[in-house]
Amino acid sequence: MATTAEATEITVTEEPKLKPVDYKSDLKPIWCPGCGDYATLSAIHQSLARLGVPTHMVAVISGIGCSSRIPGYCATYGFNTIHGRALPIATGVKMANPELTVIAAGGDGDGLSIGGGHFPHAGRRNVDMTYIMMDNNIYGLTKGQVSPTTPAGDTTKSSPYGLGDRPLDAIQLALAYNVSYVARGFSGNIKHLVEMIYGGLSHKGFSFIHVASPCPTYRGIDRFKEYKERVVYLDDDHDATNPLTAYQAALRDDGKVPLGVFFKQERPTLTDNCEAISRKALANGQPTIEGIMDQFIP
Amino acid sequence: MDVRDFTVAVVGSGGDGAVTCGEMLTHAAAGEGLYCFMSKSFGPQIRGGESFSQIRMSEDMVLSQGDRVDALVVFSWPDFLRFKDEIELKPGAIVIHDETKNKDFPDGLPINEFLEPRIIHVPFTDLAEEAAGNSLAKNMVMLGAISEFFNLPVEGLKQSIAKKYKKKSAKIVESNCAAVEAGRKYVRDNHEVESMPRLSYEKSDTKMVMNGNEAVAYGALYAGCRFFAGYPITPSSEIMEWLSRELPRFGGVEVQTEDEMAAINMVIGASFAGAKAMTCTSGPGLSLMQEAIGLAAIAEIPCVIIDVQRVGPSTGIPTKSEQSDLLAALHGSHGDVSKVVLAAADVEDCFDVTCLAFYISEKYQVPVIVLSDQFIGQRMEAVPRIDLSKRKSFERIKPSIQEGEKYERFKIDNGGVSPMAVPGMEHCEYLASGIEHTESGSPTSAHSIHEMMNKKRFHKLDDIREDLTFVRRYGPEDAEVGVIGWGSSKGAIKEAILRAEKLGMKVAGLVPQIIHPIPYDKIDEFMKPLRRILVVEVSYAGQFYNYLKSYYPVPDKLMLYKRSGSKSLTVEEVFQQICHAMQSEYVL
C-alpha cells in the first residue's frame, strides 16, 4: 500500500507524456498498401509526441490528393481543404491563433502545380508553421497522371508517348523562395524523417520538409527500392547556415537524392512582423472604435 | 436666384486637381453641416490623366449625384470630351472656364447650345500667379470664384484648406487662401451674382465625409473583424488600405496576399481558428474566389466577402460601375452552395450592411457576399455620425464539451447551426473538410448523408429569411406602380419616386438589403396590390430581373428597365420609366 508521502508524490508528477498513438485518430487510412504516406503519418505522430504539444493545440491543414487525407488521421484539429490551398489556409489559422502548432501537408501536385503560387509567399512571409510535402512523382488520387515532379521521359496515363517536360525540384525551389528551414526525408527511413519533421516543428519560422514518398501503385514497387539505392545523407559537416552550400547540396547531378537539413536560418516570422507593426501603429495611442469617426470629420 | 439644391461638375487634367477640388468642396459642405454627394471619374492613366468630379449639396438629404449640373467648371475642354456622356447641363447652366487656355475650339465649345448655357471666362491661371505666385493654385482660385458666384460654404472651404495643407506648411495654407480670396474678389469686381443659382442654407452640425469603401472597412472593424486578407484591385483597394492602417491598432492582422485565392483561403483559415475575418475584391477576384466560397459553405465556416463591382466581364472597365456581378455572387460556386448575398445601397449603408454581413455570417456559419460597386465605393458622401449603439453584433456559438464526451461538429439539432469549436479548445478536436462529411466530420460518400447535410445547410437560409425582416420600402400604401431595384440604384429610384409623388403620382419603391435568401413574403406583399412593377438595374443582361423571375411565377405586369454600366443611373431615366409604367394600359 502506498504511503501518504508517496501518494502526494504521485499527484505532483507531471501529466502523463503524450505518446505517438495519442495523435492517431480513429479513422483508418485508406492509402494503398506500401504507400510512403503511412511512414510520413507515423513520423508526424512521433514528432508531435516528442514535441509534447497537446492535441487541441495542433492544427493539420491539407489540400487535395492522396497525402492530403492526412488531417483525418490525426487526433488533432484538422482541415482537409481544396486543391492547392493548404498554405494560405494554414497561414490564416496561424495568424488567428499564433499559439497553435500548425502543420500544412500535401503532395507534389497540390504544392508545386495547382498551389505553386502560394509556396514562394509562405516562404517570404516566414509564417511560423511546418509544411510537409509528400512527393510521389505522380497524381495518385486521380489514378496515375503526370505530376510536376514526374521525371522527363516517363510514360504515365497522361503521357503515353513519354513525358517531354522536366520535373521541378522542390528543394531548389524552397531555397530560391527563401524558406527558412529546408529539409528532405524519405519514407523508407522513419527515424531520420522524424528528425527532419521534429526539426521543422521546433524551428521558429516557415519550415519545409520534402518527403520522398514513392507510390507503389502508379510508380511501381521497384521505385521504392530504386529510391532506397539513390538516397544519400548530407555530410555531418554540411553548413546549413550558408545558402551557397545549401544550393550546392541541392544541385547534385549524380542521380543521388540527398537527405537532411539543407538550410536553416533564424529571422523574424510573420507573427513577429505583425507585432512590430502593431507597436508602430499604437505609437500615438490606442484609439476607440467610436473615436475612429473623428478621422472622417472634415 | 436662391436654390436649395446645387450641383457642380469640375473637369480637368491630372495637374488641374479636379478631384481634389471636389473633395475640398465636399469637406467644405460637410463642415457647415450640409448633405453632400460627390462622384468622381478617371481616365485610365495612373498619373496626369483626365479626371472629373461632380458635387451636389443641399440642406436636405442628397440621394443621388444630381442628373444635370447647375454649373460646370472646365479646366481643359479636350478632357471634357472624355466625360461628355457623363455630364449633362441644366437649361441655362453656368459654364466657367479659364480664358487663358482653351484655344482648341475656335468654332464654339463642345456643349449643347440648345440648353443656352451661360459661358463665363475666369482667368484662373493668371489670378493664381498673381495671388499665390504659382499657377498650380488655379484650382483654389476656381474654388473661391464659384463660392462667390453660387454662395457655396466659404468658411468650410478655408477650414478644409487649413486641414489639408497644415502638414505641408503655414505658407502653403496662406497662399492657397490668398488664391481663394483672389477668385472671390475677381467675381465681386467683374460679375453680377444675383442672377446666378445661389445655394440657400443654414449652417448646422458638422457631418462626416466618407466614401463607401471606408464605410465598409469601418463597419468591418466595428463588427469585430480582426483578420483581413486581400489582393489589390480597382475599385476596392481602399478597403484594404484603410484596414492595413487601422487593424493593427485594434490587435488585428492585415495580409496582402499573392492572389485572390490566397486571400479568401487565408480568411477561411483564420475564421476556422476563431477570428472574424473578411476579404474584399472586385469582379475578377470574385471569380477566383468561387471555389473557396463553396468550401466555406460546406465546412460551415463564417466569412465575409466584399465585392465592389465594376464593369465586366473580364477586365471590362475597371474604373466604372455596373451591377453585373449579381449572378456570379448568387450562383458562381459549383454545387449546391448555401450562402448569403447582401447589397449596400449608399455610403452609410455600406457600414450597416457590412455589420449585418458579420452578424449573419457568425450566427449562421455561412459565407456572406456583400455587393457594393464603384459608384458607392469611391464616391464621397457627407453623413451624420453613426449611432453605434443601434448596430447589433453576434459572437459565434461554441460547444461546451467535457472530457470523455464526444463532440460532433456538424450535429443536426433543431435548425442548421451547430456549435463551432476552434483549435485551442480542449476535447473538441475535429476535422473540417470540403469533402462531404458526417455529423462528426468523417468523410462520406453516402447519398443519404449528403441529402441530410444539404438539408441542414439550406435550413439556415430559411432561418435567415425569418430572422431578417428589414426591407426598404418607399412611397404610399395605395401606390399603383412600384419600382424594384437593388444596391446603388436606390438613390435614383427613391428620388424618382419623390419626384413622381410631387406630381401626384402614386408610386412605391422596394430596395432589398438582402438579396439571397430572397425575402419572398416581403416582395410578394409589395408586388400584389400594384398594377405595374418596374424592375430597374444596371446590367445589360437584366440579371436581377432574371433572378426575380426564377423565384416567382412573375405576372405580365413586370416591366424591365436595364442597361449597361459605365454611367451612373440617373433620376431622370428612372422617372421616365415610371411615367411610362403609369401610362401603360395594363390593368390587373
Question: Looking at CA atoms only, how far is residue B386 from chain A in angstroms?
Answer: 8
> At residue A298, does pLDDT exceed 50?
yes
**Residue A235: count of CB within 10 angstroms of its CB:** 11
Prediction ipTM score = 0.95
> What is the model's pLDDT at position B5?
95
User: In a mutagenesis test of the A interface, which of B164, B222, B272 is the best target, namely the one with the most A β-carbons within 10 Å?
Assistant: B272
pLDDT in tens, A258-268: 999 999 999 99
pLDDT band at B238 (very low <50, low <70, confident <90, very high): very high
pLDDT band at A5 (very low <50, low <70, confident <90, very high): very low
At a CB cut-off of 8 Å and minimum separation 6, what does B259 contact? A117, B231, B288
Q: Is A48 part of the contact surface with chain B (CB cutoff 8 Å)?
A: no
**Local structure of residue A112 (DSSP, 8 states):** I
> What is the model's pLDDT at position B588?
41
Question: Looking at CA atoms only, how far is residue A98 from chain B in angstroms?
Answer: 10
Alpha-carbon gap, residue A164 to A170, rounded angstroms: 19
Q: In this prediction, what percent of chain B has a pLDDT beyond 90?
A: 81
Q: Which residue of B has its CA nearest to A291?
A: B385
Alpha-carbon gap, residue A106 to A136, rounded angstroms: 11
pLDDT in tens, B404-437: 899 999 999 878 999 999 999 999 999 999 999 9
> What is the model's pLDDT at position A10?
52
- Inter-chain contact B273–A100, Cβ cutoff 8 Å? yes
pLDDT in tens, B138-178: 999 999 999 999 999 999 999 999 998 888 888 999 999 99
Average pLDDT, chain B: 93
Which single residue is written with the C-alpha cell 455596373?
A: B322
> What is the model's pLDDT at position A253?
85
Query: Which cell goes with B16?
Result: 488641374
Residues B7, B68: contact at Cβ < 8 Å? yes
> What is the model's pLDDT at position A192?
98
Q: How many CA atoms lie within 13 A of B548 on its CB side?
A: 25
By CB atoms closer than 10 A (0-12, 13-18, 19+), residue A115 is buried
> At residue A277, does pLDDT exceed 70?
yes
> What is the model's pLDDT at position A4?
46
Residues of B in Cβ contact (< 8 Å) with A23: none
Q: Is B222 part of the contact surface with chain A (CB cutoff 8 Å)?
A: yes
Region B101-112: what's the mean pLDDT? 72
> What is the model's pLDDT at position A3?
44
Region B80-91: what's the mean pLDDT? 89
> At residue B107, does pLDDT exceed 90?
no
> At residue A150, does pLDDT exceed 80?
yes
Q: In the beta sheet, which residues pair with residue B199?
A: B3
Q: Which A positions 93-122 lie with beta carbon below 8 A of chain B?
A: 93-97, 99-100, 117-118, 120-121
Q: Is B443 part of the contact surface with chain A (CB cutoff 8 Å)?
A: yes
Region B220-240: what's the mean pLDDT? 97
Q: Is A59 part of the contact surface with chain B (CB cutoff 8 Å)?
A: yes
> What is the model's pLDDT at position A283?
94
DSSP E strand stretches across A187-293 = 207-212, 231-233, 257-264
> Using alpha carbons only, how large is chain A's radius of gyration in Å?
22
Q: Which residue of B has its CA nearest to A271?
A: B253
pTM here? 0.95
**Local structure of residue A219 (DSSP, 8 states):** S
Q: Is B300 left (phi over 0), alpha (psi -120 to 50) or beta?
A: left
Region B256-277: what's the mean pLDDT? 98
pLDDT band at A14 (very low <50, low <70, confident <90, very high): low
Alpha-carbon gap, residue B475 to B473, rounded angstroms: 7
